[in-house]
Amino acid sequence: MSVPAETRIRRAMTNCSKGEASRMTLPAWVRDLDPDHLDDVHGWRDPKAPERAVLLVPTDHGPAGIMLRTATGTARTAAMCALCRTTHSVGGVALFAAPRQGAAGRHGDTVGTYICADLGCARHVRVEHPTAALRPAPGTTTDERRIGLRERAVEFVGAVTGSRA
């Protein structure tokens, strides 16, 4: 019998307890993902707790889920997402913090970075023409931006888990 995608995504969570993973709200589109064949980094905010978010990253060892927290505010100036390297107008980037995996995280140790406030990095790297609100890295192709996003997201997973993802 096949394990449902929702269960596999919850099992992929690396930096939270099983209870936290079971309580997180998965949007309908996430339940439709095939965790075994992820090509892109996917992110979403928990609709029941907007300060909580999830980043689902394809790695060489399968999907890795990272539980994130953010303050309610966003950047007050134009800023660049550290993962997709897309520059956003005011409010488009927010500081997200992820508890480290294991005992360090339970004792409050976190890793933080600036990420697209809507966690839409995979969509943003596909933008062909810059707009006033969204500007992908100049001089790069969509494929280069997708590869770069995945590499930086895997590095972030490694920083959270203390290993090479």
Residue-by-residue pLDDT tens, the chain, 165 positions: 588 889 999 999 999 999 999 999 999 999 889 988 898 999 999 988 889 999 999 999 999 999 999 977 666 888 999 999 999 998 899 999 999 998 888 899 999 999 999 999 999 999 888 887 888 888 889 999 999 999 999 999 999 999 865
- Determine whether 48 is exposed, middle or buried from the number of CB atoms within 10 Å of its CB (0-12, 13-18, 19+): exposed
Question: Rounded to two decimals, what is the model's pTM?
Answer: 0.91
DSSP 10-78: HHTB-SS-HHHHHHSPPPHHHHT--GGG--S-EEEEETTEEEEEEEEEEETTEEEEEEEEE-S---SS-
- pLDDT computed for residue 131 by the predictor: 80
- Residue extents of the structural domains in the chain: 5-161
